A = this chain, B = another copy of it.
Amino acid sequence: MVVRFQVAVSLDGFLAGPDQSTQNPLGVGGEGLHAWLVELDVWRRLQGESGGVTNASSPVVEEAQSNVGAYVMGRNMFGGGPGPWTDDPPWTGWWGDDPPYHAPVFVLTHHPREPLPMQGGTTFHFVTEGAGVALARAKEAAGDQDVMIGGGAKAIQQYLAAGQVDSFELHITPVTLRAGERLLEDVGDLRLEQIRAIGAPGVTHVKYRVVR
């Protein structure tokens, strides 16, 4: 089992553009980070759709999505605004009734909430005891499979800084956002080794191992 993450980044290092909102969760210009992804057949099938293309990105996405036994994500990634959870109506994430996780998802939050089972095997668990506890619970749930840190930037940075990430893959896009949330900031003194790089239409996939 490894603890890993994979994210699309702009060439100037941002995970999301400025002015993130419920309508615009990746911020201004941030949707460009996923232009290479949303046209893929493998991605459309994950959303229950069809059509789309197959190219050098397809096996990368398939590999990244496979063997994941549990997820950890930050509160902003799950959404529903800051502060206590409300029931009017209850926020159940950005992804509809059948989220593309199909595994337990541990959401970092300061506000307790009952577990939220969704269709397709996804259950959101809300963890108020901190990032360490969330990761321990995700590892236990994942068994032999990997734990994926789903995002956002703060959650990833927290686990990188704590030395708890084994490897990660960046999908480096030819987008410049100029402002927003940077990925590699406040992550401490990181020693990395490049595992592989794959060029694909509109994106370069590079995988790194964290050296301890």
Contact = CB atoms under 8 A, between A and B. Distances in A.
Contacts of A172: 172, 206
B178 A189 contact: yes
Interface in A171-212: 172, 174-176, 178, 182, 184-185, 187, 189-190, 192-194, 196-204, 206, 208
Number of copies: 2
Nearest to A194: B174
A190 B29 CA distance: 12
A176 B204 contact: no
Nearest to A170: B11
Interface residues of A, number: 29
Nearest to A208: B174
B184 A194 contact: no
A70 to B, nearest CB: 27
Given A12-B185, A172-B206, A176-B192, 19 more contacts: A11-B184, A11-B192, A12-B13, A12-B184, A13-B184, A172-B172, A174-B193, A174-B194, A174-B208, A176-B187, A176-B190, A194-B201, A194-B202, A194-B204, A196-B199, A197-B197, A197-B198, A199-B199, A199-B206
